Structure 1
Amino acid sequence: MTFLSMFRRDDPTNCGNGGGDSTTFGLRIASVFIILIGSMFGASFPVLARRSKWLSPHVPQGVFDFAKYFGSGVIIATAFIHLLSPALDELGSPCLASGWAVYPYALAIALLSIFMIFIIEIIAFRWGTAKLASIGLSHDAHGHGVGGMASHGPENSSQAEGHTVLNNGNDGSSSDEEKNPRVSVSDDSEIEGGVIDSAATQVIGVAILEFGVLLHSVLIGLTLAVTNEFKVLFVVIIFHQTFEGLGVGSRLAQMKLPPKYNYVPVLGAMLYGITTPIGIAVGLGVRSTYNPDSTTASIVSGILDAFSAGILIYTGLVELLAHEFLFNRDMINSSNWKLTYAICCMLSGCGIMALLGRWA
């Protein structure tokens, strides 16, 4: 038996022949707009609440903190319960050829995805560090070095390497400017300079998160459009997309970018909001031929789910848990009450999202 022959079925019967279920067609069409509203609200509210001049003053900081930690838990639960578990089922389906059963391909793909994202990020950090060093700024990717510049939002701080950072009006500012005229010595411009230099790494980090989430969103949209368990799945996905959107939106809202890049978080929220509705619309368009239980659909969705799971596992554990709790100086020095509250918010998001996995 050759290697390729293991992945070809001898049985000509194809599981999931024909199209998907098309009952309650009117409600399926309505689901495009209902889920669009839920997804868009979940992803856009944190961004608009943080950036809108008329909304931001009326939203307490506690709301942002809750959304941030709750959303972190949602993303982690999504990775394990809503992506990795389905990937194992799909690539272990009895409809697939025997070759798919001889190795845990879903776990291998997730593992490959984790290391791919790690390599991408470490290249981005090295590039950013070299760029900052060329203009005399230090860079601490984790935000726990003294005076380093973190590249993950809330931990950000920056200072000139080898120079004393001076406030406006302090003695000696002219001499520092002469030594390194490219390093600003005013508080505002210093912060802005640090943010500009970390913009690329922030965008890369959020783009990785969005990529994993969007792949998942397209797949659940396609499935919802043709599943024969539409009503139950529809209700679950409304909550699923809203909570997941809150997680994505809270990360977008925390981005600290120069003014010319302020559109990036808004664009990210809109992109998340429309992805699942687009998936539903595509599914409705191909409902006569697409069946999520077919061999081909199981392979494609299993591979994409496993790849997305790796992305969200890395993002959730490294970018969110590690950077928000272990490497965040504010959290390390915070009171026990604040730490307990943040952990409870995170566990709440994780628990609710994991519970939704009972139905979807």
Structure 2
Amino acid sequence: MIEVFANGRKFSEWTDARVSRSLDHIAASFSLSLVARDSLGDRVRLFPGDSVEVAVNGTAVISGFVDRLSTSFAAGSHSVVVSGCECSGDIADCCIDSPLEWENKKMDEIIRIVCAGFGLSFSNRMNVDVGQAFKKFSVEPGAKALDTIVKLCRERGILCCSDGVGKVYLLKPDSCPRGPALLQGKNLMAASVDFSLVDRFSSYTVYGTGKAKKKVVGTSSDVDVERNRPLVVVDSNAVEKDKVQARADWECRIRKAKSMAFRATVHGWEHEGGLWAPGVICSFEAPELFVEEPLDLLVSSVDYSWGGDGEITELTLVQPEVFEPQPESKKVKAIKAAKADPWKAVKKAVQG
């Protein structure tokens, strides 16, 4: 059962409900179609700005606010639709107030400070390696809080996520916990897949900067693309061979990973380990979709819904490489040696 608690009341007189969580959006969201009046004849009163808690089968999945109320009536009908998002949505919408600069802070320390400014808690509960402290990290005035967090995480191949109730944490896509297997004929109610070659190419060539005779070049090939479909990328920041090669290999991997996306529907909102949630790796097997051998896929989004078919969970599954960050290719600035001062000895003598 999906229950909504707000203004000291429990709202359960709804005709349609959907709760969504995704690795692509830090804030979970919800949408409810309610009857205009409850069983006691009282008018439903949920307005933008009201704080709410949404629970699925007794487990809180969203702690947030109502963003929108839409209501209408006609002959014989009166509808109310309420939608909103988790409280972490504020860091996606709003700018950092202060501070705008940090020194000798690790990534998780900066994220904790940013989150605290919006009343959110942060913990690195999965013990993700955050690397060394930043000697200095700063943002421009007007920088969005989430953009700052994403910038910090992307450089180190880490995702910043929320658990739906305002607790922010870090996730490494290639080391996610495992979930239950999804198998055609067993627990898959329905499934679909899109295969595409639109953004894939037979070869990837990346040029860095340098003189005409000394340009650094990196190449990579996709053996699954049989036609001649070359792609050339100019990376003006790359000056080293390993940087352009890493970029070429990444272009090949990321485009291949994004060329297929699966949707799966299962009965209920829970599996044997608890509620379905994004950020788990599932073994997927569906011969009707040409997946005849088990394929490890990452659950990137989860939609809990209730309607005519009862409790349904819709999963979006992708290859973990989809979230692999683009390799860093910034120019390495050489430190110039200071020029010798021919008058140094004279100045020292004059100054005594």
Q: TM-score, normalised by structure 2?
A: 0.22
- Bigger share in strand: 2
Q: TM-score, normalised by structure 1?
A: 0.22
Structure index of larger Rg: 2
Higher helix share: 1
